[in-house]
Amino acid sequence: MTKKQTIKLLRMKTLEEKTVSAKYAINRSVVSFWVFNLFALGFLFFWIWLYKQPQDNAAPAPLRTVLKTNEKIFTSLFGNNRLAKTFPLKDAVVKVRVNGDAGMGDNFDATKWKLQVARSAGDTFYVTMDEIKALPKTDIIFDFKCIEGWSQVTHWAGVKFSDFVKKYHLEQESQLKYVGLNTPDKKYYVGIDTKSILHPQTLLCYEMNGAPLPMNQGYPLRLVIPVKYGVKHIKRIGTIFFSDTQPPDYWYEQGYDYYGGL
Amino acid sequence: MRQKKIIKKHPLAIRWFHWINFPVLGVMIWSGMLIYWANDVYRLGWGDTTVLKFFPDSFNKALNIPFRLAEGMSLHFVFMWLFAINGVIYFSYLLFSKEYKLIFPNKKSLKQAWLVVLHDLHIKKGLPPQKKYNAAQRIAYTGVIFMGLGSLLTGLAIFKPVQFNWLCAVLGGYEWARAEHFILTVLFTLFFLVHIIQVALAGWNNFAAMVRGFEIKNVVPSQEKEMAAPVDDEKANHQIITNENA
């Protein structure tokens, strides 16, 4: 329909009518329904095809490809200066939800705990809790968001990861794309893009609600990273390392998005 | 030669947008349910009384929904692009083709929509004159476009609540945005139910128009004569489409 015809049609109160041969009307209908059925069939085959694709970390490979593209789009779109909303102290809940105990085995000796930092393979050093606590302390009260869909305003305190990097001269290592963190028993592990871990609200956290972390919240030291879902807030950090390739990630291996950024 | 009258109804572009949206929205709702299951907190009720839980365990089990959060998320964050792109192109098309004039409500729509409702409930006979859509359809179809926009915005707010913290705040915070996203999905489902009932009632010719673009009418001899005569605007103005469209 040309523009002129459209305008004419709109001026009229009725839709455009045409008298045609019955054969023409039928032919047009047949072609249209063929295209329609092929489209429906095409979608059905696409769906079956999608679920038959090889899995990439427990997700069909084509979906994984798009998720990785999403990550690229979002990381290039977003700077590192957008802050998660913070709340007044009175909004912080007293009963903090405990979700997940992977890597939190019983045979953990807190008295022997030291944070292991690997500058590179074979070049590691240890930091004690006292040394971490000697660094500037930062409090944050924010809406913690679980990948399951719930959220809770909670109060945490610790040292900014970026302050930790400065203190231990890890600027060189922080040029690499990822930071990997493991529990002491290596049963829970996350990988985080360096940009997010250097975000000003990311903490190596040792306090919750003004008291040392409870055991089930990752005593003595956990990650608090408000720009990510809870799955990335690893409890009871044993080792930190730097890498240009994606470190293994517990939930990524079970089909979740690696990025997990909010 | 036998003659037929065809009444052009839906442009090709609109038919494509419509039928692309159908499976895409279907996947969005399905994957949304897989995601929602992981924190299924919504219900209809007050205090300790629950009239309807979203969703009953038997419902979840019957549809094999439990423990598929990761799958739901990956589907949701892939098909969201198709839903958004199709929606944006559709809306731009409405604007640029001036087709929106046939869909958006006008000054008379609210009053006329009431007459349509009375008619559909068999309380009153006859419909006000209309073009492609009656007043109730104009309101419903324009409403559903804005519901789509609402789903995109509330979805964006819960997908990236830090990056779009302003949007999250406008929507009443993270938890509210999630609830709004859910309510919109319920409304989409209700719209869909009413829509297919209306399409079924309106009959084959109306449904077929969303596939082939036009409705077909038999040409009766007297009409043929009328068609041959030049149609002046005044006459056309009084012509009424009497078939009910869905």
Residue spans of the domains in chain B: they are: 4-75+149-238
Give A105 to chain B, closest Cα distance, Å.
24
For the segment A35-45, the average pLDDT, to the nearest whole number, is: 96
A32 touches chain B (CB under 8 A): yes
A20 touches chain B (CB under 8 A): yes
Cross-chain Cβ contact B163/A78 below 8 Å: yes
The ranges of chain B with pLDDT < 70 are 1, 221-246
By Cβ distance, the residue of A17, A148, A261 closest to B5 is: A17
Give A15 to chain B, closest Cα distance, Å.
6
Residue B230: its pLDDT value, please?
44
Residue to test with chain B: of A6, A17, A250, most B Cβ within 10 A: A17
Q: To 5 degrees, how large is the angle CA B9–CA B13–CA B18?
A: 80
By Cβ distance, the residue of B6, B69, B162 closest to A82 is: B162
Give B102 to chain A, closest Cα distance, Å.
8
State which residue of chain A sits closest to B100, comparing Cα positions. Answer: A10
Number of domains in chain A: 1
Residue B229: its pLDDT value, please?
43
Using an 8 Å CB-CB cutoff, list chain A residues near B6: 17-20, 25, 28
Residue A59: its pLDDT value, please?
93
Cβ proximity of A83 and A202 under 8 Å: no
Residue B240: its pLDDT value, please?
41
For the segment A106-117, the average pLDDT, to the nearest whole number, is: 88
Cβ proximity of B83 and B28 under 8 Å: yes
Pairing assessment for the beta strands A59-60 and A55-56 based on DSSP bridges: antiparallel
The answer for B 189-208 residues in CB contact with A (under 8 A) is: 208
Tell me how many residue pairs between chain A and chain B have CB atoms under 8 A apart.
155
B19 touches chain A (CB under 8 A): yes
B64-67: long-range contacts (C-beta < 8 A, 24 or more apart)?
B65/B33, B65/B34, B65/B37, B66/B37
Cβ proximity of A181 and A240 under 8 Å: yes
By Cβ distance, the residue of B3, B39, B173 closest to A21 is: B3
**Among A2-16, A27-41, A231-245, B182-196, where is mean pLDDT lowest?**
A2-16
Residue A213 is assigned to a structural domain of this protein: yes
Residue B245: its pLDDT value, please?
47
Q: To 5 degrees, how large is the angle CA B63–CA B69–CA B72?
A: 75
State which residue of chain B sits closest to A143, comparing Cα positions. Answer: B174
Is the bond preceding A220 in cis, omega lying within 30 degrees of 0?
yes
Amino acid at A38: L
The rounded distance, in Å, linking the Cα atoms of B189 and B19 is 16
Using an 8 Å CB-CB cutoff, list chain A residues near B13: none
**Between A12 and B47, the higher pLDDT residue:** B47
Residue A67 is assigned to a structural domain of this protein: no
A17 touches chain B (CB under 8 A): yes
3-state secondary structure of B182: helix
For residue A1, name the pLDDT band (cuts at 50, 70, 90).
Answer: low
For the segment A128-134, the average pLDDT, to the nearest whole number, is: 94
Neighbours of A246 (CB within 10 A): 14
For residue A17, name the pLDDT band (cuts at 50, 70, 90).
Answer: confident
Reported ipTM: 0.88
Residue A8: its pLDDT value, please?
55
Residue A113 CA to its chain's centroid (Å): 28
pLDDT tens figures, B95-139: 998 888 888 888 887 778 777 888 888 887 777 777 778 778 888
* pLDDT surpassing 60 at residue A205: yes
Could you identify the residue written with the tokens 């015809």?
A5
Domain containing A206 equals 80-99+112-254
For the segment A25-49, the average pLDDT, to the nearest whole number, is: 95
The rounded distance, in Å, linking the Cα atoms of B161 and B164 is 5
By Cβ distance, the residue of B73, B102, B211 closest to A33 is: B211
* pLDDT surpassing 70 at residue A11: no
Percent of chain A with pLDDT over 70: 95
For the segment A12-24, the average pLDDT, to the nearest whole number, is: 79
pTM, 2 dp: 0.87
Residue A69 is assigned to a structural domain of this protein: no
The answer for B 107-146 residues in CB contact with A (under 8 A) is: 129, 131-132
For the segment A64-81, the average pLDDT, to the nearest whole number, is: 90
A12 touches chain B (CB under 8 A): yes
Residue to test with chain B: of A4, A7, A12, A14, most B Cβ within 10 A: A14
B175 touches chain A (CB under 8 A): yes
A188: domain CATH number is: 3.90.420.10
Cross-chain Cβ contact B7/A15 below 8 Å: yes
Cross-chain Cβ contact A18/B6 below 8 Å: yes
A150 touches chain B (CB under 8 A): yes
pLDDT tens figures, A138-167: 999 999 999 999 999 999 999 999 999 999
Q: Which residues contact A164 (CB under 8 A, 6 or more apart)?
A: A132, A135, A170, A204
Among A141, A135, A139, smallest CA distance to A163 is for A135
